[in-house]
Amino acid sequence: MKVSMILHLFNILVAINLLAPCFCLNKKDNVEDNNDIISITESIEKSRKKKIMYTCAALATTLAAVTGIALGIYFTRDKRRSVWENDDLGNAASEIIDKIVDEGSKNGQIALENGLDLEKVIKNKDIKNALKTYLEKSETKFSGFQKRELYHYVPFISHIIRHKLKNNDSYDS
């Protein structure tokens, strides 16, 4: 118990020794050189100002990028509209699909007459190439989004051609 009392006393004396300069009214005695503290404070302020400047620059750059992306999305929204929402584009796309179906039916009919397998004659790759050719030749200009939308119809066009050849009926447009 005597040892613990000595340790407590020692801890209290150390704490008083460490806290005494904080409670002293004459602060000039505690600081030998005020210029050192001022120069340290100035360097801390400079680094703080640099950090604030870098943060503001990063924030402005991010804000400009987000604004640019938002404006780009806003101004290109018409190019992302579906082909079928515009009557001119819808009619042009429908005509192109009709031409591809008719052409595929004729080629398929010739192949069937020559005894070739229907699955080997009608390929999605050929339909896609025909669609690409007709889109390039078309007077109506389609955006990239609208072209991709039409490319999604390739399996459907293939199905129509196969169905038309199996039933030997005409495709009414």
The pTM (predicted TM-score) of the whole model is 0.51
Average of pLDDT values for 142-147?
Answer: 83
Distance of CA 111 to the CA centre of its chain: 46
Q: What is the pLDDT of residues 80-132, one digit of tens each?
A: 677 777 788 888 888 999 999 998 888 888 888 887 777 777 888 888 999 99
Residue ranges covered by each domain of the chain: 25-75, 82-167
Residue 61: band (very low, low, confident or very high) from pLDDT cuts 50, 70, 90:
very high
Output the pLDDT for position 58: 92
In three state form, how does the secondary structure of 84-140 look? HHCHHHHHHHHHHHHHHHHHHHHHHHHHHHCCCCHHHHCCHHHHHHHHHHHHHHCCC
The pLDDT score that the predictor gives to residue 45 is 86
